Amino acid sequence: MTDTTTTTTSLNKFEKFKAQKDGLAIRDEIEKFAVLGWEAMDETDRDHRLKWVGVFFRPVTPGKFMMRLRMPNGILSSSQMSVLAQVVQRYGDDGCADITTRQNIQLRGIRIEDLPDIFNRFHAVGLTSIQSGMDNIRNITGDPVAGLDADELYDTRELVQQIQDMLTNKGEGNPEFSNLPRKFNIAITGGRDNSVHAEINDLAFVPAFQEAGEQGSRGAGEQNFPSAHSHHKIFGFNVLVGGFFSAKRCEAAIPLNAWVAPEDVVAVCRAVLEVFRDHGPRANRQKSRLMWLIDEWGLEKFRAELENRLGKSLLPAAAKDEIDWEKRDHIGIYKQKQPGLNYVGLNIPVGRLYAEDMFEIARLADVFGSSEIRFTVEQNIVIPNISDSRLATFLTEPLLERFSINPGLLARSLVSCTGAQFCNFALIETKNRALEMIKALEEDLIFIHPVRIHWTGCPNSCGQPQVADIGLMGTKTRKNGKTLEGVDIYMGGKVGKDAHLGTCITKGIPCEDLQPILQELLINNFGAKLKEEALLVSHC
């Protein structure tokens, strides 16, 4: 299945162990590991192959594993949330969960002996963690208000589920895609505000209308005409490819010059992944993401090979896409397209949840909504389907004091990766430091609009500093002969319409000196004012 032109001797360590035993083989060994214990396990199985079932050994907390789920389109039910809560609850102070920058959730404190029971519980409520780490396809992101938003052009929920089902064999594991050259990110949005950060995915689908005459044979995409648009236009997606961040190189996705009807999206995903699997470069892991193959081949050859796999030609991209809104954060109360219903976005500081929070969120979704919960890529939650008549009572719920619907203008947009608490790549502590910093800045300053600050603990960029207004990337720096935790500062990231990546403006600022620097950036670039000054002005 994989390209065998690379000789065994030239294989890097990851390719070698994947060739020796496929990661998915680990599915059948979970019971054995549970009895054996983590200390006696083969190291490659423990540190790498377990990631094929979403289980991550944490060198920072040996024996306490992390589990990464899959949440297609970021949607889960209250019963799924309750099961996740039960899982972390049993680990007491070690147990917690994090909403991730891919609209997903990770559980912490997991003991290997509990895995068989945990997988049974997942199975009972339709949860899966399959192929969520290492050289697999990550959680597929979609618009967090799909199906709720009156202005959306296409409800992506079903499509995202279909893509996941195809890629993971309905969550059971799919050996066709268990040995990719590297990780792979897919996003699909049917809204107007690019809620998924399409530009930073290996493969992204953004809404675009094709003139009917240009579409060739009239396809089933026609049945998706939004009523607001004339019947001469057919809904589909323009395709972007090759976006990624890595320690050595970051690229925004580029247009493939292809438009696909909704019913062709799953097949296009499959074709792109087959091409990547069979031809993607595998020798150097720093040069294995999809963009490196596109560089090597050129876009035309890549596109031609895709058509070859698809067995039909791709239509050229529509002249423009429909991403014409600024990005929304969905925090607060919003009317749904369904009359009398609302969705409410709660700010979860840096995405961190504990078991009791998770039970509470599940209860609120049951009592006030339709038992549904959604995640956003900003690590927050949305509870949909709250009726007008229940809204006032919902707003009196004590949980909303901690998970606010109207947080401060920095807190509202704060994003942070895992950092040193659990991640061995981390050069700095992130989540707690991010929260303290925001608190201090909000105490001193008044803001006129939200400012999106993203923290990431190392150059891998899981916290996406390049999409932020102000991005902070962990580094080590020197001051007075001592090595300290520091950050490189990124600015200029633009999301939503005309999204583009920010760049590094200064390097190696010690974290202990950061607050006044951020304060100055916020005043000079984002219209923030010192509270004292604002008071003086109002007294004049």
φ/ψ of 478, rounded to 5, equals -110, 140
446: its two tokens:
């008044």
Q: Does 200 bind ligand SRM (CB under 6 A)?
A: yes
Shortest distance in whole angstroms from residue 460 CB to ligand SRM? 4
Residue 419 among the catalytic residues: no
Contact call for residues 50 and 66 (beta carbons, < 8 A): no
- Which string of x and - marks every residue 457-496 that binds ligand SF4 (by CB under 6 A)? xx-xxxx---------------------------------
Give which of 44, 89, 82, 84 is closest to 68, Cα–Cα.
Answer: 84
The three state secondary structure string of 337-361 is CCCCEEEEEECCHHHEECHHHHHHH
Site string for ligand SRM, 282-301 (x = CB under 6 A): -------x------------
Confirm whether 457 is a catalytic residue: yes
Binding pattern for the stretch 437-456 against ligand SF4, x by CB under 6 A and - elsewhere: -------------------x
- Single out the segment in contact with ligand SF4 by CB under 6 A; choices: 151-159, 201-209, 249-257, 414-422: 414-422
Binding-site size, ligand SRM (CB under 6 A): 31
Residues that contact ligand SF4, how many (by CB under 6 A): 13
Tell me the three-class secondary structure of 255-314, residue by residue: EEEEEECHHHHHHHHHHHHHHHHHHCCCCCHHHCCHHHHHHHHCHHHHHHHHHHHHCCCC
| Region of residue 134 (left: phi > 0; alpha: psi -120 to 50; beta: else) | left
Are 134 and 68 in contact by the 8 Å Cβ rule? The answer is no
Residue 98 contact partner, candidates ligand SRM, ligand SF4, none, CB within 5 to 8 A by sort of partner: ligand SRM
Measured CA to CA, the distance from residue 91 to residue 67 in angstroms comes to: 13
Question: How many other CB atoms sit within 10 Å of the CB of residue 508?
Answer: 14
In 3D, which of 514, 375, 386, 404 has the Cα closest to residue 455?
A: 514
The least distance separating ligand SF4 from the CB of residue 281, rounded to whole angstroms, comes to 22
Write down the least CB distance from residue 119 to ligand SF4, Å. 24
Our finding on whether 203 is near ligand SRM (CB under 6 A) is: no
Residue placing its CB nearer to ligand SF4 in the complex, 242 or 457: 457
Distance from C-alpha of 315 to C-alpha of 311, rounded to nearest angstrom: 13
- Kindly calculate the radius of gyration of the chain based on its CA atoms and give it in whole angstroms: 23
Q: Which of 21, 111, 121, 183 is catalytic?
A: 183
Nearest alpha-carbon partner for 75 in 99, 51, 94: 99
From the list 23, 95, 280, 457, the catalytic residue is: 457
User: Under the criterion CB under 6 A, does residue 350 sit at the interface with ligand SF4?
Assistant: no
Q: CA 315 → CA 187, 273, 338, distances in Å?
A: 20, 19, 34
Choose which of 84, 145, 426, 495 interacts with ligand SF4 (CB under 6 A). Answer: 426
Among 24, 110, 252, 423, binds ligand SF4 (CB under 6 A): 423
Q: Which of ligand SRM, ligand SF4, none is residue 334 near (CB under 5 to 8 Å by kind)?
A: none
Taking CB under 6 A as the rule, which mask of x and - marks residues 136-175 in contact with ligand SRM? Answer: --xx------------------------------------
Catalytic residue among 46, 58, 64, 68: 68
Contact 406, 364 (CB under 8 A): no
Partner whose footprint covers residue 456, from ligand SRM, ligand SF4, none (CB < 5 to 8 Å by kind): ligand SF4
Q: Residue 525: CB partners within 8 Å, gap ≥ 6?
A: 491
462 has catalytic annotation? yes
- What does residue 198 show for φ and ψ, rounded to 5 degrees? -50, -40
| Closer by beta carbon to ligand SF4, 334 or else 425 | 425
Distance, in Å, from the CA atom of 385 to the CA atom of 226, rounded to the nearest integer, reads: 22
> Judged by CB under 6 A, does residue 455 bind ligand SRM?
no
Among 17, 56, 209, 394, binds ligand SRM (CB under 6 A): 56
Please indicate whether residue 463 is annotated as part of the active site. yes
Residues 72-131 that bind ligand SRM (CB under 6 A): 98, 100-102, 104, 106
* Rounded Cα gap, residues 50 and 55, in angstroms: 5
Q: Is residue 183 annotated as part of the catalytic site, yes or no?
A: yes
Distance CA 86, CA 210 (A): 48
* Residue number with CB closer to ligand SF4 (109 or 345): 109
Residue 514: which of 416, 415, 407, 441 has the closest Cα? 441
Which residues are registered as beta bridge partners of 490? Answer: 471, 504
The residue within the footprint of ligand SRM, chosen from 424, 483, 503, 525 (CB under 6 A), is 424
Q: Of 425, 494, 508, 523, which one interacts with ligand SF4 (CB under 6 A)?
A: 425
How far apart CA 207 and CA 187 sit, in angstroms, is 12
Q: Which of 46, 49, 68, 352 binds ligand SRM (CB under 6 A)?
A: 68
Q: Provide the minimum distance between the beta carbon of 516 and ligand SF4 in the complex, in angstroms, as a whole number.
A: 25
Q: Which active-site residues does the annotation give?
A: 68, 182-183, 457, 462-463
Binding site for ligand SRM (CB under 6 A): 56, 58, 66, 68, 98, 100-102, 104, 106, 138-139, 182-183, 185, 200, 244-247, 289, 417-418, 422-425, 460-462, 464
Binding site for ligand SF4 (CB under 6 A): 417-419, 423, 425-426, 456-458, 460-463
